[in-house]
Amino acid sequence: MLLSKKPYSDWREIQDEYEHYMTSLGPYTEEELLGFFSEQYGDDDALWAFSREKMREFMESDAVVLESL
């Protein structure tokens, strides 16, 4: 899973960049993103692909992509 702040015109552009692309979930604000993860995976962010703290840091940074390991 990865989070990207790069603007794309459509899903095909994302698919061209990422070979194993399956779906796009955004664009989301930071709060919408945290809400989505909470709804999908519960309130324990240890079960999430990214912790709340990591997502907040990413959203506030100049980084464009955040990938889970």
Query: What's residue 40's pLDDT?
Result: 92
Per-residue model confidence as pLDDT tens digits over 4-54: 999 999 889 999 999 888 888 888 999 999 999 999 999 998 999 999 999
pLDDT for 27:
86
3-state secondary structure of 61: coil
Number of domains in the chain: 1
The number of C-alpha atoms within 13 Å of 64 and in the hemisphere containing its C-beta is 3
Question: Which pLDDT value is given to residue 66?
Answer: 94
Domain span including residue 37: 2-67
Quickly state the pLDDT bin for 61 (edges 50, 70, 90).
very high
* pLDDT value for 24: 84
At residue 18, what are phi and psi to the nearest 5 degrees?
A: -125, 110
